[in-house]
Amino acid sequence: MIIYIHGFGSSGQANKAKIFREYFKSINQNFIAPSLSYVPNLAISTLEEIIDSYNEEIYLIGSSLGGYYATYLSLNEKVKKIVLINPAVIPSHTLQKSVGDAINFYDNSSYKWNKEHLNMLHTYNTTKIEKNKFMVLLQKGDKVLNYKDAINKYDGSTLILEDGGDHGFKGIQNHFEDILNFIEKDN
């Protein structure tokens, strides 16, 4: 089972989730992209319940804050491989500027993002990284996160680094086969 974990203010119905869903459906691969709470503790508990509900190996694809969550969830023995797309490395720092009214990009609704949410993020900081379990896709044109932070944290993992691009990772569909090959390698 492949689980896609969206980023901050996003949803399981965002464009990236949709194109992943279409691709995996086209090759008959089990895939879900749940819409998660903006509250970190709730998002993590939902993901843990989803992972525990499957009696099969789990593969995670995490984008931005979803990459941070996926890194934490990599400690679960059912999680075999993790693909990170422009992952957040220190989201408690990056998301400080979002304290106050934040926007859900799916329907433009707003919600309150506060310091307690930032503090929750500290709970999920993971320093134990099994490098062989990770593939990291980065674009240097990401204006939201510094790609060098991810290079340092995931040093020794499979890495795809591209010039240009953006935080959403332009052209992600060009890497679907790379992602699938990484997931299937040594399985």
How do residues 76-123 score in pLDDT, each as one tens digit? 999 999 999 999 999 999 999 999 988 888 888 889 999 999 999 999
Q: Is the pLDDT of residue 187 over 70?
A: no
Average pLDDT over the chain, rounded to an integer: 95
Residue pair 62/83 in contact by the 8 Å Cβ criterion: yes
The string of pLDDT tens digits covering residues 51-77 is 999 999 999 999 999 999 999 999 999
- Reported in sequence order, the residue ranges of 23-121 that DSSP labels E, i.e. its strands, are 31-32, 58-63, 79-85, 100-103, 110-113
The string of pLDDT tens digits covering residues 118-157 is 999 999 999 889 999 999 999 999 999 999 999 999 999 9
Res 18: pLDDT: 96
Which whole-number Å values give the CA distances from 154 to 40, 120, 134, in the listed order?
Answer: 22, 22, 8
Helix %, strand %, coil % for the chain, to 5?
40, 20, 40
Res 103: pLDDT: 87
Res 152: pLDDT: 96
Mean pLDDT of 4-29: 96
Res 33: pLDDT: 98
Q: Domain total for the chain?
A: 1
The DSSP 8-state label assigned to residue 38 in this structure reads: S
Residue-number span of the structural domain to which 86 is assigned: 2-184
Q: Is the pLDDT of residue 175 over 70?
A: yes
Residue pair 86/138 in contact by the 8 Å Cβ criterion: yes
Confidence (pTM): 0.95
Which whole-number Å values give the CA distances from 167 to 18, 75, 137, in the listed order?
Answer: 17, 26, 11
Q: What CATH number should be reported for the domain holding residue 118? A: 3.40.50.1820
- As a whole-number percent, the residues of the chain with pLDDT over 90 amount to 89
Nearest-angstrom CA–CA distance, 127 and 80:
17
Q: Which two tokens stand for residue 187?
A: 């399985």
